[in-house]
Chains A and B, each alone.
Chain A
Amino acid sequence: MKNDNRYETAAREAAESRFASHIAACLTESAETVAPDVTERLRFAREKALALARRSREGGQGVGVTASGEVIAGFSRSRWWLRFASVLPLVVLVGGLALIQDWQNRTQISVAAEVDEALLGDDLPINAYRDPGFSEFLKAPPNE
């Protein structure tokens, strides 16, 4: 009984395989007779793909494909330049802000130095500015 089942299964599989092979042969025969325009477009696609492979093999030089399918060369494969270009504005912005901050610091220091220089170089002692009476004297009109 077991052997009968095995025989039946094997026979079925063999029949399936034979049938499938015949169908595959028919499909192959049919595929060989595709329309000339399809053949031409397939050839065009193949050549485009081969051009892409050829250029991608050239050291360091990558290739790209446009939306219309045109193969273009000149890109690095890793496209590092694209990443660099996207980060560049941020780098410029941060650098600019740092420069502005530095310029402001230097300006403030310069102004403070001028004030210090004027104070220290003046005949009037610096402690006079801390005297309330002197402050009142300065606020008073000159002709009184």
Chain B
Amino acid sequence: MATEKELSDFLKSVEKRAWKRAVYAVRDDDAALDIVQDTMIRLSEKYADRPAAELPLLFQRILSNATMDWFRRQKVRNQVVRNFSEFESAAGKEDDFDILETLEALGGPLQSESAAESVSRAQILQTIEAEVALLPARQREAFLLRYWEELDVAETAASMGCSEGSVKTHCSRAVHALAKALKAKGIST
């Protein structure tokens, strides 16, 4: 059973990332705060007696569910579906885009391509956040869980309620979409 300090440390370690994740999803700071608070309360209310090692996965799952609940309440799921279909239609237009070359180029420290001096790091981070927020919901969730929360593929799949193959596909598509978008905005080495 997780001690109070373990629970406190855990919540402290994830709260900002959780808020950001919710902001990317719902695009509303206050709603994101409500979602994170709801997630913390649900975790504390129902799973405070679980071992500390189980908390990250439980938290991510509750956060995903809370976000989905918010969408249900707001009745904007159609918009999410539309985002999916937009991505699907755009997926076929990548023939002239060499992803490997772009990824290699973007693999180093991120800087502005043409006018590094004029574009601050904060602006670059803002651009990256905006592009992450523009990803289709499932891709963004898979990408953030897998690479930001550092869950493995199986844990990500369990958290998202899908297969491991789907997680890999979502992650790969998210990486490609981000790489393409950032390159288009001139962010590279």
Interfacial residues, chain A to chain B (CB-CB below 8 A): 8, 11-12, 15-16, 18-24, 26-32, 34, 38-39, 41-42, 45-46, 48-50, 52-54, 56-57, 63, 65, 69
Contact = CB atoms under 8 A, between A and B. Distances in A.
5 residue pairs, one from A and one from B, having the closest CB atoms: A49-B40, A45-B37, A53-B44, A15-B103, A53-B48
Given A49-B41, A50-B7, A30 B128 contact: yes
Nearest to A57: B48
B29 interface: yes
B16 A31 contact: yes
A31 B44 contact: no
Nearest to B2: A53
Q: How large is the interface on B (under 10, 10 to 19, 20 to 34, 35 or more residues)?
A: 35 or more
Contacts of B17: 27-28, 31
A42 B110 contact: no
Decide if the interface of chain A is mainly helix, strand, loop or mixed: helix
B104 A22 contact: no
Contact of B179 (A19, A46, A49): A19
Contacts of A53: 4, 7, 44-45, 48
A33 B3 CA distance: 28
A56 B44 contact: yes
A8 B11 CA distance: 40
B41 A48 contact: yes
B48 A23 contact: no
Contact of B20 (A27, A39, A57): A27
B129 A42 contact: no
A31 B129 CA distance: 10
A16 to B, nearest CB: 5
Contacts of B100: 8, 11-12, 15
A31 B175 CA distance: 20
B48 A56 contact: yes
Given A42-B36, A49-B41, A34 B147 contact: no
